[in-house]
Amino acid sequence: NAGVTQTPKFRILKIGQSMTLQCTQDMNHNYMYWYRQDPGMGLKLIYYSVGAGITDKGEVPNGYNVSRSTTEDFPLRLELAAPSQTSVYFCASSRKPGELFFGEGSRLTVL
């Protein structure tokens, strides 16, 4: 049972480059989330989705975009990468509020 799968696990970007972090879940969960976690800090919500075709901004959406064309997939797009986007990114899904299942994280460095 794969759960929540994130790719890539590690990535180094140059300033100004763009990339997409992939997230897919096989639990048929309606709710999906993207968080970022800076060293020694808590998780900050970037975007979330309550179902296919619906997305909402979280605390820190600037510099990111998402789409939710299917229940399974919730990719996070970084446009014009900046050093401030260096972080660990976690994708999560849930069947009901609060019970989030997380992927293993994607470590992104922007140089």
Partner 1 sequence: RKEVEQDPGPFNVPEGATVAFNCTYSNSASQSFFWYRQDCRKEPKLLMSVYSSGNEDGRFTAQLNRASQYISLLIRDSKLSDSATYLCVVNRNNNDMRFGAGTRLTVKP
Helix and strand totals (H; E) in the chain: 0, 11
CB contact at 8 A, 25 and 6: no
Smallest distance, Å, CB 5 to partner 1?
Answer: 12
What is the CB neighbour count within 10 angstroms for residue 96?
8
Smallest distance, Å, CB 73 to partner 1?
Answer: 18
Smallest distance, Å, CB 104 to partner 1?
Answer: 6
Which residue number, 14 or 42, has a Cβ lying nearer to partner 1?
A: 42
Report the distance separating Cα 73 and Cα 59, nearest Å.
21
State the DSSP code for 20.
Answer: E
Report the distance separating Cα 3 and Cα 17, nearest Å.
30
Which residue number, 18 or 84, has a Cβ lying nearer to partner 1?
A: 84
Which residue number, 46 or 81, has a Cβ lying nearer to partner 1?
A: 46
Question: Where along the sequence are the contacts to partner 1 (CB under 8 A)?
Answer: 31, 33, 35, 41-45, 48, 50, 56, 58-59, 90, 94, 97-100, 102-105
Smallest distance, Å, CB 100 to partner 1?
Answer: 7
